[in-house]
Amino acid sequence: MDGPAFEPATTAPSALSSELLGFPPDARVLIVNNDDFGMHHAINTAVIRSIECGIASSCSVLVPCPSAPHAMRLLRQRPEIPFGIHLTLVCDTTHYRWGPLAAKDTVPSLLDETGELFTPARIPELLAQARLDEVESESRAQIDAVVEAGLTPTHLDWHCLADGGRDDILDLTLALAREYGLAARVWLEPGRRKVRRRGLPVVDHDFLDSFALDLDGKSARYTELLRALPVGLSEWAVHPGLGTAEWQAIDGGWRVRQTDYEFVTSPEALELVHQEGIVVIDYRTIQLVWSRLAAVGRHRNA
């Protein structure tokens, strides 16, 4: 890929990203994104319910996973649900595997010594050896699979890799977002500064990953976080799932997913968002701004 992902701004914008999206200066804006859609039917069911009946506003599809075709069928049946692509180079589970979409012999640097995707514990090894051209090949395969299924995503984000895990992978992701007309989730401070210098809205505050929360008192903690939500744009990555017997046998983190599901679909969560005046949005609002600025950049470079 040639050239910057977006035309750089001459100065860093001083406004909050929520203001760049058209909200007033005192608005408290929140994205509640369901990660890992497509990992398993128990997750797919919970994700849809969390959006249709809860405070979740969007989801991200793990395209290489066994239940991704089921997830994409659910999305085709519900075109009103916004979703992103959860780019993945990592497999979380030992006895429930998925691999790359690209042919393995074309992406050898993304695989361990057994020819499988790396586990989260071995992410440093993955990042040390992954070739950027092979990351691009696999990323394109995942994006194209969604597009070829007749679906229209809103954004790109990463599974288990904050901002892709490396600066060059983040730059690649931003370039792919520009090419496909999407936004991208950027949540570490160096990446946020880089993107804000280009005039693009990203989260204004530290990103919340629900796996970082303690299980004990989790509902009360979520309540506290909603009440204390700061002015500006925030994002929560939650991981709802149903604790079915099959899924409990597969996923050691099923309690995280079950408790996420219970909170985001609770009447208390819905009422609290209303009481606090929190504006819940999805990535469509951000995508519009990113796409507009990308079009301006292409026009200037023409």
pLDDT in tens, 154-170: 999 999 999 999 999 99
Burial of 214 (C-beta count, 10 Å sphere; 0-12/13-18/19+)? exposed
3-state secondary structure at position 110: helix
The whole-chain average pLDDT of the chain stands at 93
Q: Is residue 105 part of a domain?
A: yes
**What's the CATH number where 241 sits?**
3.20.20.370
Which residues of the chain are modeled with pLDDT < 50?
2-4, 8-12
Q: Is residue 135 part of a domain?
A: yes
Tell me how many domains the chain contains.
1
3-state secondary structure at position 33: strand
In this predicted model, what pLDDT tens digit does every residue of 59-114 receive, in sequence order? 999 999 999 999 999 999 999 999 999 999 999 988 899 999 999 999 999 999 99
Q: Is residue 186 part of a domain?
A: yes
Q: Is residue 12 part of a domain?
A: no
For 105, the domain range is 17-301
For helices 41-53 and 254-264, what crossing angle results, to 10°?
A: 20
Q: Is residue 103 part of a domain?
A: yes
Q: Can you give the pTM of this predicted structure?
A: 0.92
User: Are residues 151 and 85 in contact, defined by beta-carbon separation less than 8 angstroms?
Assistant: no
In this predicted model, what pLDDT tens digit does every residue of 34-50 receive, in sequence order? 999 999 999 999 999 99
List Cβ neighbours of 195 (8 Å cut-off, separation of 6 or more): 174, 184, 186, 202
Q: Is residue 8 part of a domain?
A: no
pLDDT of residue 90: 97
